[in-house]
Structure 1
C-alpha cells in the first residue's frame, strides 16, 4: 500500500469517526458530553454540546469529501478543533466527572494522552508530504 493510500484511509477513518461523534453529541451521548463541558464556557452546556456536535459532523464530512486542494486546511482546522476541546477533557479529569466509561482519574488521565494523537492524525492524514 502506498503512503498516499494510507493517508486516504486514515483521513476517511478520522472523518467518519468525527461524523459518528457529532451524531452522538446530538443524540444518544448528549448527556455524557455535557459532563465534559468546562464550567467557564459561557454557553449552556447543552448548547455547547449541540454546537460542537454540528461542528464535528461538518469537519468529519469535510475530511472525507473535501477536494484535494482544501484537505490540508481542513486538517489544520480539525487539529485546531481538537486543541480547542482539550480543556473539556481536562475539566472531566479535574472535576472527576464520569462519562464514556472514564470512571477513574487514571482512565481520564490516560485519555488526555490521546488528544495529541488526534491532532497529529488530522495533520498527517491531510498533509501533502
Structure 2
C-alpha cells in the first residue's frame, strides 16, 4: 500500500487523533469503564466489561500507531476508520436506549453525537493519507 506524503496540517491532526485515542483508551481501562459499558449494545454476546477492556486495548494500539508508526500511517488510518465503523452500533444503542453517559443526557445530544462518527472516519482517512492511497489504488 502506498504511503503518500502528507502535509504538516495532516500530520498534526493525525497526532492529535492518535492522542485522543490514547486518552479514550485510558478512560476505557480506568475511571470511565462504567460509562463506556453503557454504550455496549445488549445484543453483544460478551461481558460488557470485557468489550470495554478489549476496545480500550485496540484504541491504545491504534493511538500509538497513529502517532509513532508514521511509515504505516495509511494502514493505521484505515484500521482506525474501520474501528469507528465497528463501534458505531454502540453509539446508536446509547441513543435508542436513552442511556446517559459522557454528558449525553438528552436524546438530542445523543442524536447529534451520531453525526460526528463520519467526521472521525474521514479524519482518520484524510490525516493519514489513506484517502489518497485508496483513491490511487482504485485507478
Q: After the TM superposition, which parts of structure 1 deviate over 6 Å for at least 4 consecutive aligned residues?
A: none
Number of aligned residues: 126
1:23 to 23, 26, 47: 26
Partner residue of 2:54? Answer: 51
The question of 1:67 aligning with 2:70 is answered yes
Taking structure 1 as the reference length, what is the TM-score of the superposition?
Answer: 0.95
Select which of 17, 36, 54 maps to 1:33. Answer: 36
Structure-2 separation of matches of 1:9 and 1:93: 32
TM-score normalised by L of structure 2: 0.88
> What CA distance in whole angstroms lies between the structure 1 residues aligned with 2:114 and 2:28?
19
Q: How far apart are 1:67 and its partner, in Å?
A: 3.4
> Mind listing any 5+ residue stretches in structure 2 that lack a counterpart?
1-5, 133-139
User: Following the alignment from structure 1 to structure 2, what is the Cα–Cα distance between the partners of residues 10 and 105?
Assistant: 30
- Rounded Cα–Cα distance in structure 1 between residues aligned with 2:29 and 2:70: 27
**CA-CA distance at 1:91 after TM superposition:** 0.2
Within the alignment, does 1:93 sit opposite 2:65 as a pair? no
Asked if residue 107 in structure 1 is aligned to residue 109 in structure 2, the reply is yes
Kindly provide the CA deviation profile for residues 76-95 of structure 1, in whole angstroms up to 9, marking residues without a partner as x: 00000000000000000000
- 1:11-61 deviation line (CA, Å, top 9, x unaligned): 000000000000000111110000000011111000000000000011000
* Aligned ranges 1:5-24 → 2 under 5 Å: 5-24=8-27
Q: Distance in 2 between matches of 1:67 and 1:109?
A: 34
Unaligned runs of 5+ in 1: none
